[in-house]
Amino acid sequence: MYVKYIFAWICSLPLAFAATAHGAETRPPRLQPEGWDSQVTLVAAADLNPDPRIVEVDLDARVASVELTPGVRTEVWTYNGALPGPLIRAHAGDRVIVHFSNHLPEPTTVHWHGVRVPIQMDGVPDISQPPVPSAGVFTYDFVVPDPGLFWYHPHVLSAAQVGFGLYGALLVEDPDDPVSVGDETVLVLSDIGLESDGRLEPPDSGGSTGMAFGREGTTLLVNGRVRPKLVVRSGAPQRWRIVNAAKSRFFQFDLDGQLMTRIGGDGGLMEEPQRLDTLVLAPGERADILVSPKGKPGSTYDVVAVPFNRGYGSVEYRLAEPLFTLVFDKAAEYTGPQPTPVRRPIEPLATDAATPVNIEFTMAQQGGRFEYGINGIPFAAGHPIVAVPGSTQLWTITNKTKWSHPFHLHGFFFQVLDGQGAPVHPLEWKDTFNVPLESTIKLVVRYDDRVGSWMFHCHVLDHADGGLMGMVDVGVAPSGHVHRGAN
């Protein structure tokens, strides 16, 4: 239904990558020991379509029993019975067809976070599609124009449903990928709230105060597992594609002084590599990093999540927690060549004719309850920002609250600017970016001709559910309407 339209706008967009025949791909040699990442291997979605340019999968939302802690089983919400959901793999330019079925006890949708889909495929209930009822079905059908790591999750009662386990990764590969690393893995970072008997914590724990803070889970997960192991060869390069799928938690970690090289993020490869001592991912953000950890053969190293100051109460009385363990193989240290630098030409978006958009993230107390809003107005009472197809907007976002808010814009990438309005280097395409507490950031976005009402919101999902959401109407005639009900 949408294929002709989708291919037309893909061909017109500067960010789209040309796809080549999948069989033409070549991979660099593997240097890690066999099965090095077996403890974190994600279940792969089965491709039902023999056409090499079409990825067609079944995706079923259902409750399943999993063992997260030894000897204790938990009824979690899953896609296809797996936590996380299955890894969907495609190539830039492929058509992706997802036959979705809902066997949960309540309605849900699937939002394709970061993918530049048509509005009908965006998964926002009552705005881009009707919610899929229990025992209902819906077919998502779109083309993936950009290489990168994306992810999928619901947009009905988002904090609760994501917190219960509904999330998965979508890896869109570049057939002409310039990264010369043969060993790579996808890491889905998340957490889950568990009672002492293994049951899921209620999603409304702490009431409006819990919402105002943003509820974090009690148990850290890497690809749905507690403290898994990667068996690695000392000095050998690896590529980690990482997504933070937690509903509220920021993930911050380092490698004990060993450098990491970030080569990409939300929208694929960056302008040039960036050397990092520490990696911080806000909820919804992704990172594409190269690491070559060194250690004595046979030794182990725990990669730990260090508390990140996202606002009042987020670091006080908290300790670092283990994420996963590197187990150094007994093979001799690798001393061969390291990956060559990866660069991608990205033009900064011009701002001289951009339309200014100024918004504030606010919080108020109403009747003893906390409530977030945009410019003092919660989502249910808000009015959309209007944009013309083909136009550019310069956003200034001021966070007046005591907590940080990762800003996420549906449907479009943006570029981050510094305080003077100049591009931040290395340039990259973002769809999620943290706005620290009591601070201001600037970003620039150019809209294409995908007409529709596109959501923006804080990706601390409790904050979004608490009112920190808004809409951008691209090419939609002003009607004085009020958007209601989506979360």
Per-residue pLDDT of 310-336, as tens digits, reads: 998 788 778 899 999 999 999 999 999
Residue 409 lies in a domain: yes
Tokens standing for 122?
């965006």
Percent of the chain's residues with pLDDT above 70? 92
Confidence of residue 366 (pLDDT cuts 50, 70, 90): confident
Confidence of residue 482 (pLDDT cuts 50, 70, 90): very low
Are residues 226 and 167 both part of a single domain? no
Q: Let me know: does 464 contact 487? Beta carbons within 8 Å.
A: yes
Calpha distance 203→224 (Å, rounded): 19
Residue 465 lies in a domain: yes
Are residues 291 and 318 both part of a single domain? yes
For the cut 70, the answer to whether the pLDDT of residue 386 exceeds it is yes
Are residues 148 and 27 both part of a single domain? yes
> In b/e form, how buried is each residue of 296-335, taking b as 16+ CB within 10 angstroms?
eeeeebebbbbbbebbeebeeeeeeeebbbbbbbeeeebe
CATH number at residue 233: 2.60.40.420
Per-residue pLDDT of 126-143, as tens digits, reads: 999 999 999 999 999 999
Q: Three-class SS of residue 271?
A: strand
Q: How far is CA 430 from the centre of its chain?
A: 11
What's the pLDDT at 7? 36
Structurally, how many domains does the chain consist of?
Answer: 3
What's the pLDDT at 19? 34
Per-residue pLDDT of 236-273, as tens digits, reads: 999 999 999 999 999 999 998 888 999 999 999 999 99
Residue 339 lies in a domain: no
Of 291, 271, 270, 267, whose CA–CA distance to 279 is shortest? Answer: 291
Are residues 295 and 399 both part of a single domain? no
Are residues 29 and 150 both part of a single domain? yes
* Average pLDDT estimate for 115-133: 96
Q: Where are the beta strands (DSSP E) in 383-468?
A: 385-387, 392-399, 405-409, 414-417, 432-435, 439-446, 452-458
Structure pTM? Answer: 0.92
Query: What's the domain range around 275?
Result: 184-328
Name the average pLDDT for the chain.
91
What's the pLDDT at 479? 52
Tokens standing for 206?
């702490």
For the cut 70, the answer to whether the pLDDT of residue 485 exceeds it is no
Question: Could you say which of 328, 347, 381 is where a domain stops?
Answer: 328
Q: Let me know: does 72 contact 233? Beta carbons within 8 Å.
A: no
